[in-house]
Structures are given as structure tokens and as C-alpha cells.
Structure 1
Amino acid sequence: MIRTANAPVSYGVFELSIPGLVPLPDGDQLAAWVAEAGYEGIDLGPVGLFGDRDTLPELLGRHGLALAGGWVDLPFAAADDEFDASFAGLAPVLDLFAAAAAAAPAGTFAPKPTIADSGAAERKARPGGAPELELDDERWARFAARVQRVADETRAAGLEPTFHHHACTYVETPREIDRLLADTDIDLTFDTGHLLIGGGDPVADFARWAGRINHVHLKDADRSVLAAAEGSDDPMRDVWQRRMFVALGEGDLDVDRIVDEIVDSGYDGWLVVEQDVILQDAADVDRARTDQVANRERLRRWFA
């Protein structure tokens, strides 16, 4: 069975948001919009958006939503002191997921802590990645060992982790994803939009990684924005502000083919629709809400 969810990032609530331009929705408002758009679940968003371990389950229940997952990034390639400080903050975040899982109705998929790399300046300057940006063998071995450590810690908390390949991080391209899957036992959040940015083929790559995919982010992307952002002072922010991520069917993703592939594969889990947007005026808020309704309607062929 596949259940559909959405995420705060689709409504402008994430680390690149600019709250001074337009007020961001709070957790209660966001959950209401996601439920009204027809989704069954929601991602965690910034820690605290939906409350603490005591209030999170109540908010989700009030809106008839389950927690699908949520972004948890750590600086896997950083110096030991920076990584260790970040790792020390993992347990309270996992506690939020555990509280939501314990309160979820029977038959609901448990949320998956969605582990990711925090990236680095050299990667943020080159969205899309490049062979010369890959970690050397020594740094990669440390990176993979740290990912495994986080995966083990997550399982010790009674949760199953998933790793999110992502633009502007050290796991971005298909080659880097292959390397991660070979050197750790963590399974993959397959993100169609970020795979397009990293030079992958969503349909072909889903088929070859299907046995290691335990979470899906369905996202469309306009790859022409990558070229338009070249030479920018802040390429990572620029590609988001230029709206690289578009409504399903408006970018380079063959939506019908990839969803058919996902369904036919027997995938069983959450399918989280995401459309990262940076809200820059009030009209963007309305467009975000309209787009997420349209994205859900686009999927009615497969998920009534």
C-alpha cells in the first residue's frame, strides 16, 4: 500500500525561508492546509513547528494526519567536534518521531527519520555536483561510518532510518548514491526532483535501486534553472528562488512513468509530495496552497 503525504517545505517553511518578506504559516495552519488538500500524512518540518513530544501527536490527530518522516541533517563530512556536537542533538529529535509513531492509529506506516548530509560550501556553490567534488577515499570512509552510526542510533530508538540524497550535499549524484548504498546498510529516500538535479534518470534509477528504497519524495524540477543560476553569488539559494521545483507535470519529470514504476514495483510506504518554495509575497502563499491541491489531484489516477 502507498499513502500520500506532503511537507512544510511545499508551503515555504524550511531553512531557506525569508520570514521577513511574508509571514509563514504556523504548525496548526500548515497541518490544516495539508489535510484539506487531501493528504494522509505530513513531514515534521523544522523541529518545534508542530510542538513537542507531548503536543505533536495531539496536533496530528486533530487534523487526521500521520507523521510520514522529516529532515534530519548532520555534517557527515565535517571535523570531529562539529559532527559530534550535531550527533549529540539527535536523540531529542528521534524522541519526536517515536512519540508520533506510538500515537499513530493501527495500520499507519511509522514515520521515517530522513537522514541527510548538511553539505558544505563547495557543494552549495555547485548544485548538480561534479566528479571533482566527490570525497576522497579517506574522507568517504569516515562519512560512511558516521552515516552507519546514525542509522544504528535511529534503530536503537525503535525507528527505521532512511537516507535522503540531496542537491548541494556529498550524496547528490547517482554515483554518490551508489557509493552510499554499497558502504552502509541504510535504505534510501528516493527523491525524483533531487535526482534530476544530480543528473540521474528517475525511472531507470528507481528500477535499479528499488530493493533499497524505503521512502519516496515525489518532486518535479525544471533543470533549466541550474544553468540560469551559474555564476550567482549564492547558487544554492538562487536555484530555489528561481523556482527550480515546480508543480507535478510542469518540469522535467515524467510523472506518469515514474508513478507507474513505483506502483508496479510493489513499493509499500509513504509517498511524500514536495515542492520546495521560498515565499516572497502573499501571492506565493496562495500559489503554494493551490499547487498542493493540484499535485494531489494529479495523483488521483493511482491514489484515490
Structure 2
Amino acid sequence: MVKLAYEANAWGGVVGTAGAVTDVGSGFYETPGDVRETLRAIASAGYTGVELFDGNLLPFEDSMSDFVGAVEAAGLEVAGVYSGGHLIYPDAHEDELARFDRSIRLAAAAGARHYVLGGGAVRSSGRRAADFEVAGAFLDTVAERAEAAGLIVSYHPHLGSLAQSPEQIDALFTATSIGVCADVAHIAAGGGDPVDFITRYAARLKYVHLKDVDLSSNAFLPLGAGDLDLRRIIDAVALVGYDDWITVELDGYPGDQAAAAERSRQFLNIHQPD
């Protein structure tokens, strides 16, 4: 039975940890703000799970029971933890791997089910064919370590990353055996068809991010407020037999975040995944 989570980055967006510009091994995504307030807001909107950035677990590194207690007090589960990296620079892999190992330990200690990887840098001179091969092999290494920690691992195609367009996404997934996280809005904004993507990668589909988008501006919107045929997408997810967490996400939305979370939940009350 599908369960519904919400991504914590709605309340505060995303920044990088200090020092990451000069120290590859210290770079984590994080959302500013009080994570406890975010947990309560997600639960109040009717969701039963949360996804958050690995950097938001750093303050609890030596007291993870405090974080776990806050999640349980809100009546939630940790559906996933999101991480990322440059991936394409072999000389940096040792330091990136040290950071990923730390991130994996945090995610496992927090009780996360999914471990989501994003990123893949785009060079100032543009993407090179070899970048997909290098990133793909490195993703396999990271995935192996995360799976050994008991996490379900997937890669999330993202606007502005190595894998944005359908051709780029296919090139990366050809070079790696990692599972697939289908973020339907990023796939559509990158020029792809989310239903086609879900169907073609059904055997590797490990996780789903659900949000809507205005394709004229690539602005993300609450479910039902944008251009995506979400009913068709939800049907496709069910048709391929997916029965794990679906995480609703709404980063960069300038409106009332609590009202948006509730609106998306109401949309799913009508268009409930099977």
C-alpha cells in the first residue's frame, strides 16, 4: 500500500553547509529552519512520512535519538534522506565518498527507508560523454555502500544537473545500475514524458517524487495547479506495480507552504494512489 510523505525543503529551501566551496568532503545539502516545526507542519497537513536533506541530520549526529523522538512525536516515519555530489571528477571521489559514508550513516541511524542521490556537475565547458561513465560507476559504488546499510537507493534526475534531458538521463542510467527515483516535475521540465519514463524504467523504479509544474516557467506548484496530467502519472505508477512511499515536494514555491501542502493532500484524497 502506497504511503504519502512530504519533503521538508518546502519550509526553507536548500543551502549548502559552510566550507563546502573549499572542502569537498564537508558539503551537505540542508534546509534552514527548525526541523521540529517542519515535522509538525507535515503531520498537520495529513502526511505520514518525511524526506529531508542529509545536512539536516548533522546537528543530531551525536544524539540521533533526539531526532528519532521528534519524528515519532509527530506521528511520522522517515521515508527518505536526500544527498548529492559532483560525481564526475575522479580526483575528488575519495573526499566525496568520505562524505557519502557519513551521510549514509546518518540516514541509517535516522531510520530512513530510502536514500536518494542527486547531482552530477555540469562543467563550465558543458557535459562530456565521459562524465556519464564516470558518474555512473561512482553512483554504483555509493549505492553499494548505502544498500549495505539497509537503505533503498535511487538516483534523482534534476534540472541543472548532469542528467536533465531525456537523452542525458538515459546516458547516465545506461552507465549505472542504481535504482530510479522518478521526480515527475523535473522529468517533464527537462523535456521528458513522466509516464514514458516510469514505464521504461519500471524494473528499476525504487521511489517517486510527486509535484506539479508550470512548464512555461518551470515553477513548481501544488498538485493539480500546474500542467502535469497527474492522474495519468499516478495511474502509471500503480500500473507498474509500485507500492512504496510517494513523496510530495514543493521547493521554491512563494505561496503559503502549509496551505500548499494541504492542497496537495486534498488532491491526493481525490486521486488516491492504489
Normalised by the length of structure 1, the TM-score is: 0.78
Q: Give runs of aligned pairs for residues 211-250 of structure 1, distance below 5 A.
A: 211-225=203-217, 244-250=219-225
Tell me how far apart the structure 1 counterparts of residues 155 and 238 of structure 2 sit (CA, whole Å). 21
Tell me how far apart the structure 1 counterparts of residues 34 and 165 of structure 2 sit (CA, whole Å). 34
1:143 positional shift: 1.6
Answer yes or no: is 1:84 the counterpart of 2:94.
yes
1:79 positional shift: 4.9
- Of residues 240, 243, 253, the one that matches 1:265 is 240
1:176 positional shift: 2.1
Report if aligned partners of 1:135, 1:170 keep a CA contact under 8 Å in 2: no
Which sections of structure 1, spanning at least 5 residues, go unmatched?
Answer: 17-22, 102-109, 124-132, 227-243
Tell me how far apart the structure 1 counterparts of residues 66 and 91 of structure 2 sit (CA, whole Å). 34
SS of structure 2 residue aligned to 1:217: strand
Which letter does structure 2 place at the counterpart of 1:40?
A: T
Normalised by the length of structure 2, the TM-score is: 0.86
1:118 positional shift: 4.5
1:258 positional shift: 0.7
Answer yes or no: is 1:293 the counterpart of 2:268.
no
1:25 positional shift: 3.9
Answer yes or no: is 1:2 the counterpart of 2:21.
no
> Structure 1 runs of 4+ off > 4 angstroms?
none
Which letter does structure 2 place at the counterpart of 1:11?
A: W
Alpha carbons of 1:72 and 1:24: their partners in 2 closer, same or farther (altered >3 Å)?
A: closer
Tell me how far apart the structure 1 counterparts of residues 263 and 52 of structure 2 sit (CA, whole Å). 22
1:256 corresponds in structure 2 to 231
1:200 positional shift: 0.3
2:72 corresponds in structure 1 to 61
SS of structure 2 residue aligned to 1:72: strand
Which letter does structure 2 place at the counterpart of 1:26?
A: D
Question: How many correspondences in the alignment?
Answer: 256
1:51 corresponds in structure 2 to 60
Q: Give runs of aligned pairs for residues 120-269 of structure 1, distance below 5 A.
A: 120=122, 122=124, 133-136=126-129, 138-225=130-217, 244-269=219-244
Deviation track 1:26-63 (CA, whole Å, cap 9, x = no partner) reads: 11100000001011100123523573333221111111
CA RMSD of aligned residues (A): 2.3
Deviation track 1:116-166 (CA, whole Å, cap 9, x = no partner) reads: 12533649xxxxxxxxx4422x33322211111111111222222111111
SS of structure 2 residue aligned to 1:269: coil
Answer yes or no: is 1:70 the counterpart of 2:81.
yes
Tell me how far apart the structure 1 counterparts of residues 95 and 32 of structure 2 sit (CA, whole Å). 29
Which letter does structure 1 place at the counterpart of 2:89?
A: A
Tell me how far apart the structure 2 counterparts of residues 298 and 122 of structure 1 sit (CA, whole Å). 41
Which letter does structure 1 place at the counterpart of 2:128?
A: L
Which letter does structure 2 place at the counterpart of 1:87?
A: L
State the identity %: 29
Tell me how far apart the structure 1 counterparts of residues 56 and 162 of structure 2 sit (CA, whole Å). 27
1:78 positional shift: 2.6
Which letter does structure 2 place at the counterpart of 1:274?
A: E
Tell me how far apart the structure 2 counterparts of residues 67 and 41 of structure 1 sit (CA, whole Å). 6
Ranked by relative contact order (alpha carbons within 8 Å, sequence separation 6 or more), the top structure is 1
Report if aligned partners of 1:69, 1:113 keep a CA contact under 8 Å in 2: yes
SS of structure 1 residue aligned to 2:163: coil
1:130 corresponds in structure 2 to none
2:22 corresponds in structure 1 to none
Which letter does structure 2 place at the counterpart of 1:33?
A: A
Report if aligned partners of 1:14, 1:46 keep a CA contact under 8 Å in 2: no
